[in-house]
């Protein structure tokens, strides 16, 4: 009798288990279909209809999109925005597009997709977003964003941080622009959840919980792009990335005007270690239009576009500090510092041809050299900064490092 009861209980248990297993499988399948449907809907929204598509040698697809149908105008604050084709004011002494007075003897850095074609007038190039790009992200809702809350600002004191800097900054006044030339490398990044950045930051941190920031430069970021190539990037947020802002054109906001440069695309050629004749740099300038308050971006001698003043709370007025330099993410796997490189992966003491540099630093709307700058170096044994000044380079600094080494365990 006992055996019969035991067998009956076993059969019931097995039946219940099978039902539960079937329910879980059906729920997961339904969730998968919903996730797949959500991804397709977002891809359709993000990837605007192309007038022309170009296959880059690195595998990217560059879509040439009608300038009036770009992602920027999906933003609620830009629904009725009338596109501005040029700034109403320029910083004194800036290089105007098409001029021949670019202050750099290095050959200009192009983008890899240029080898395969160009976008027609009246369109802008947009790197196509693919399903695999979305699947790498932590959630569809957070696609293209990053968490700025762990970034250490110059006014912070102490504490361990995921983000580490070797940079310089100006702070203490109102700032209306920043400019510099930075040379371009391909640093090694240890893990796909880490990245290495060289950039200019224009930030207002009056309200640190709702920090406003614009960031432009180059980075190696496998998590974002799916490879370890060096890419031009932009980023913005007006609330410390809690609900706004993202990289490149992965969300609405940045209004692009230039048909020749695609944010998020590969830069080539790159600087070569220990070769003074193969050092390549890009010049980035960000400035505030005095007339309407928009923040404009220029790449080399090309005006790229702008972030409307209406996107921001505090940057609608001015920036509280400008930063130039490098940033890495240290995941400290197994309690050890990351081997992710910053810049060229060499310390600044190696100097020209070996170390990464910024030159011709300017820190306001009149393109006046940034005279009083301060260093922010989180771990000098891992990454460091060395500043200087010359007639040719103006205010400059070398920066970077290899990450983990005998002095940086």
For residues 229-264, b (16+ Cβ closer than 10 Å) or e, as one string?
Answer: bbbbbbbbbbbbbeebbbbbbbbbbbbbbbbebbbb
Q: Which residue has the higher pLDDT, 36 or 288?
A: 288
* DSSP-based helix, strand, coil % in the chain, nearest 5: 20, 30, 45
How far apart are alpha carbons 406 and 282 in whole angstroms?
33
How far apart are alpha carbons 293 and 309 in whole angstroms?
5
pLDDT on residue 95:
55
Residue 183, strand partner residues: 281
pLDDT on residue 152:
41
What are the chain's domains? 44-83+107-149+162-400 (2.60.120.1270)
Which residues, including other chains, have CB under 8 Å from residue 3's CB and lie 6 or more apart?
Answer: none
pLDDT tens digits for range 220-271? 999 899 999 999 999 999 998 778 878 999 889 999 999 999 999 999 999 9
> Within 13 Å, how many C-alpha atoms sit on residue 372's CB side?
4
- 99 band by pLDDT with thresholds 50, 70 and 90: very low
Exposure of 141 by Cβ count < 10 A (0-12 exposed, 13-18 middle, 19+ buried)?
exposed
Tokens representing residue 214 in the block: 């614009």
How far apart are alpha carbons 353 and 243 in whole angstroms?
41
pTM (two decimals): 0.85
| 3-class secondary structure, 133 | helix
Which segments of 194-301 are extended strands (E)? 196-204, 212-220, 231-237, 254-256, 267-268, 281-288, 295-299
Q: Which residue has the higher pLDDT, 8 or 340?
A: 340
- Res. 366: pLDDT tops 80: no
Q: What is the mean pLDDT of residues 70-95?
A: 88
């Amino acid at each position: 009798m006992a055996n019969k009861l035991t067998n009956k209980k076993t059969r019931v248990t097995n039946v219940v288990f099978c039902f539960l297993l079937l329910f879980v499988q059906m729920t997961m399948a339904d969730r998968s279909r919903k996730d797949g449907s959500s991804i397709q809907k977002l891809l359709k929204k993000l990837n605007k209809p192309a007038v022309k598509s170009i296959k880059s040698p690195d595998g990217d697809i560059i879509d040439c999109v009608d300038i009036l149908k770009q992602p920027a105008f999906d933003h609620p604050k830009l629904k009725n925005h009338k596109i501005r084709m040029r700034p109403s004011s320029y910083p004194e002494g800036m290089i105007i597009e098409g001029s021949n007075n670019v202050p750099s003897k290095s050959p200009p850095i192009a983008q890899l997709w240029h080898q395969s074609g160009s976008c027609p007038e009246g369109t802008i190039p947009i790197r196509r977003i693919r399903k695999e790009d979305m699947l790498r992200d932590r959630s569809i809702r957070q696609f293209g964003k990053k968490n700025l809350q762990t970034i250490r600002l110059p006014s912070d004191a102490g504490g361990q941080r995921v983000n580490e800097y070797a940079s310089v900054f100006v702070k203490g006044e109102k700032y209306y622009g920043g400019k510099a030339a930075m040379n371009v490398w391909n640093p090694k990044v240890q893990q796909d959840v880490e990245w290495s950045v060289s950039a200019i930051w224009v930030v207002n941190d009056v309200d640190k919980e709702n920090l406003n920031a614009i960031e432009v430069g180059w980075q190696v970021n496998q998590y974002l792009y799916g490879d370890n190539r060096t890419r031009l990037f932009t980023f913005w947020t007006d609330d410390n990335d809690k609900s706004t802002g993202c990289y490149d054109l992965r969300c609405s906001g940045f209004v692009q005007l230039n048909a020749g440069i695609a944010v998020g695309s590969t830069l080539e050629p790159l600087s070569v270690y220990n070769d003074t004749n193969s050092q390549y740099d890009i010049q980035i300038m960000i400035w505030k239009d005095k007339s309407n308050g928009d923040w404009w971006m220029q790449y080399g001698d090309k005006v790229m576009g702008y972030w409307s003043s209406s996107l921001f709370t505090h940057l609608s007025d001015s920036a509280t500090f400008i930063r130039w330099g490098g940033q890495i993410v240290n995941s400290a796997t197994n309690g050890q510092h990351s081997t992710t490189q910053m810049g060229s992966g060499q310390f600044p003491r190696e100097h020209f041809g070996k170390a990464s540099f910024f030159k011709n630093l300017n820190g306001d709307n009149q393109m006046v050299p940034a005279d009083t700058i301060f260093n922010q170096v989180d771990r000098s044994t891992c990454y460091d900064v060395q500043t200087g000044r010359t007639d040719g380079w103006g205010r400059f600094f070398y920066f970077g490092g290899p990450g983990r080494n005998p002095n940086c365990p």
